[in-house]
Chains A and B, each alone.
Chain A
């Protein structure tokens, strides 16, 4: 790859407290403005991997960089400032704050991130027009799909290079899952690189450019999304790590 990768991970190892490594040596590069689907069986370390990238799990070994900037040792907030935004699974908005307050909070404590201002707010609200009309609604009163849109919008307000999504389809109805996936495509079209961790493999591969399969905290396969779509999931998920 001649261009600088948007996201570069090498030999990453991480785990909880004094427990064993959950992420066991992951290496991958992701080209800018692509969607990379991260799939794998339950307990394969997908969610821990994305939490490690976001800075919520201590890195024991390896490096993480965003557009060439090393963020391995940074706190979560500094990673956002370096261009990496994260949308956690399900509990990803502040329920007792209104939509407007959620959006304000998304940027007012970020320091050192360029392109975070009224123009970015306009651009993000244009992607999710429904939010702009309901700024006074409490986020806790939103439906699952609306909540997901607010979570995306909050993350995008930080003008990220890379957006990390942890199971955006969790807890949503099939119709809303389809809308959410459409929104992710719009986000990529707006120039953002998306790392999409998904349990809903079909939906993720539908929109992804490439996919990696994680098994037991390691990459067992990396290929184009189209190629992985044709493969047998059982073989992929339960194959021995090479």
Chain B
């Protein structure tokens, strides 16, 4: 039982890792907590659903469409909302992202209603290994996320774009003097973040039914994961996501499963109280 929960927790954690990474990247480069992560994930689920079920595309093509759609939405939100409010401080941006979140969620609701939907994928038998039940979807989730994480890691550490993103996160005006345009890097960050959230939406849609609140269900856990890792730290976000995933699933041993989300909240609160900088990274106390 415990081993099964631990395994499920790792997979849930991997699923959380992509949006947590997206949240932390936006926080690093653009300096605000993007409340619209959940809604953008929802948009990814629906974009993939349209491609897969209505247009009959295979899941890989549907995933690509989801990534492109959410990246586009991120660019639009950046161009018309976030960039215009950039100088007004991180809370104004956070409130604006709440507005963006409502818009995206309700565009999905307007076109697709509140009904639950699922992808058109063949059901397959779970595998049994050492007494643990492993679903096909869990394998897909794990492989996709690991590949994405490796790709993002390589991008951030070994490419000029990755260096530029980290440089802008450190000190945007110094980066400007070095020839790195903040605006360009901001746009590229949205493309990357949009792609991650789009893929996360596809994986979430494999794991549970797709409805306008699919992303909201993960919202608190995503924030908990990113805070646990120290907002702004990519590796921290991934470790935070795995911890939150395992903690949520394992909590079933001691508290009713209805209260899974409370675990995330308790982790955030405990962490902020006892260690204000997260596992790795930023300061959380104010003057």
In the bound complex, residues from chain A placing their C-beta under 8 Å from that of B89 are: none
Question: Which of B166, B176, B177, B179 is the one whose CB lies under 8 Å from A97?
Answer: B166
Q: Are B167's CB and A56's CB within 8 A? A: no
Interface size class of B (residues with CB under 8 A): 10 to 19
A104-B163, A105-B163 given as contacts; is B177 within 8 A of A96 (CB)?
Answer: no
The docked-state distance in angstroms from the alpha carbon of A88 to that of B160 is 22
The docked-state distance in angstroms from the alpha carbon of A77 to that of B185 is 14
Q: In the complex, what residue of chain B is closest to A113 when comparing beta carbons?
A: B179
A88-B174, A109-B160 given as contacts; is B181 within 8 A of A97 (CB)?
Answer: no
CB distance from A37 to the nearest CB of B (A): 22
Contact residues, B151-185 vs A (CB, 8 A): 160, 163-164, 166-167, 169-171, 173-181
In the bound complex, residues from chain B placing their C-beta under 8 Å from that of A67 are: none
Q: Are A77's CB and B164's CB within 8 A? A: no
Q: In the complex, what residue of chain B is closest to A109 when comparing beta carbons?
A: B179
Q: Are A80's CB and B178's CB within 8 A? A: yes
Q: In the complex, what residue of chain B is closest to A17 when comparing beta carbons?
A: B87
Q: Are B171's CB and A91's CB within 8 A? A: yes
Q: Are B177's CB and A105's CB within 8 A? A: no
A97-B166, A105-B164 given as contacts; is B174 within 8 A of A77 (CB)?
Answer: no
Interface string of A56-99 (1 = CB under 8 A from B): 10000000000000000001110011000010100111111100
Interface size of A in residues (CB-CB distance below 8 Å): 26
Q: Are B177's CB and A77's CB within 8 A? A: yes
Q: Are B179's CB and A110's CB within 8 A? A: yes
Asked if A111 lies at the interface with its beta carbon under 8 angstroms from chain B, I say: yes
Question: Which of A75, A76, A94, A106 is the one whose CB lies under 8 Å from B171?
Answer: A94
Q: Are B166's CB and A80's CB within 8 A? A: no
Q: Are A106's CB and B163's CB within 8 A? A: no
A104-B163, A108-B160 given as contacts; is B178 within 8 A of A96 (CB)?
Answer: no
In the bound complex, residues from chain B placing their C-beta under 8 Å from that of A94 are: 166-167, 170-171, 174-175
Q: In the complex, what residue of chain A is closest to B28 when comparing beta carbons?
A: A96
The docked-state distance in angstroms from the alpha carbon of A33 to that of B204 is 63
Asked if A162 lies at the interface with its beta carbon under 8 angstroms from chain B, I say: no
Residues of B within 8 A of A (CB): 160, 163-164, 166-167, 169-171, 173-181
CB distance from A100 to the nearest CB of B (A): 10
Asked if A154 lies at the interface with its beta carbon under 8 angstroms from chain B, I say: yes
Question: Which of B166, B171, B177, B179 is the one whose CB lies under 8 Å from A111?
Answer: B179
Q: Are A105's CB and B170's CB within 8 A? A: no
The docked-state distance in angstroms from the alpha carbon of A92 to that of B175 is 10
Q: In the complex, what residue of chain A is closest to B168 when comparing beta carbons?
A: A94
Question: Which of B173, B178, B180 is the one whose CB lies under 8 Å from A154?
Answer: B178
Query: Can you list 11 A-B pairs, Cβ within 8 angstroms, ordered by A?
Result: A56-B173, A75-B176, A91-B171, A93-B174, A94-B174, A97-B166, A104-B163, A105-B164, A108-B160, A109-B178, A154-B178
In the bound complex, residues from chain A placing their C-beta under 8 Å from that of B163 are: 97, 101, 104-105, 108
Q: In the complex, what residue of chain A is closest to B181 when comparing beta carbons?
A: A77
Q: In the complex, what residue of chain A is closest to B157 when comparing beta carbons?
A: A101
Q: In the complex, what residue of chain B is closest to A164 when comparing beta carbons?
A: B177
* Inter-chain CB contacts under 8 Å: number: 65
Q: In the complex, what residue of chain A is closest to B185 when comparing beta carbons?
A: A109
The docked-state distance in angstroms from the alpha carbon of A88 to that of B164 is 18
Asked if A124 lies at the interface with its beta carbon under 8 angstroms from chain B, I say: no
In the bound complex, residues from chain B placing their C-beta under 8 Å from that of A101 are: 163, 166
CB distance from B259 to the nearest CB of A (A): 37
Q: Are A105's CB and B171's CB within 8 A? A: no
A97-B163, A101-B163 given as contacts; is B170 within 8 A of A106 (CB)?
Answer: no
In the bound complex, residues from chain A placing their C-beta under 8 Å from that of B164 are: 105, 109
Q: In the complex, what residue of chain A is closest to B173 when comparing beta carbons?
A: A56
Question: Which of A56, A95, A104, A108 is the one whose CB lies under 8 Å from B177?
Answer: A56
Question: Which of B169, B176, B180, B181 is the one whose CB lies under 8 Å from A105?
Answer: B180
CB distance from A168 to the nearest CB of B (A): 15
CB distance from A18 to the nearest CB of B (A): 13
Contact residues, A194-222 vs B (CB, 8 A): none
Candidate in A56, A81, A105, A111 with the most chain B CB atoms within 10 angstroms: A105
Candidate in B166, B174, B177, B180 with the most chain A CB atoms within 10 angstroms: B177
Asked if A54 lies at the interface with its beta carbon under 8 angstroms from chain B, I say: yes
Candidate in A81, A92, A108, A111 with the most chain B CB atoms within 10 angstroms: A108
The docked-state distance in angstroms from the alpha carbon of A104 to that of B163 is 9
Q: In the complex, what residue of chain B is closest to A81 when comparing beta carbons?
A: B179
The docked-state distance in angstroms from the alpha carbon of A105 to that of B170 is 13
The docked-state distance in angstroms from the alpha carbon of A81 to that of B179 is 9
CB distance from B231 to the nearest CB of A (A): 14
The docked-state distance in angstroms from the alpha carbon of A108 to that of B176 is 13
The docked-state distance in angstroms from the alpha carbon of A100 to that of B180 is 17
In the bound complex, residues from chain A placing their C-beta under 8 Å from that of B178 are: 77, 80, 105-106, 109-110, 154
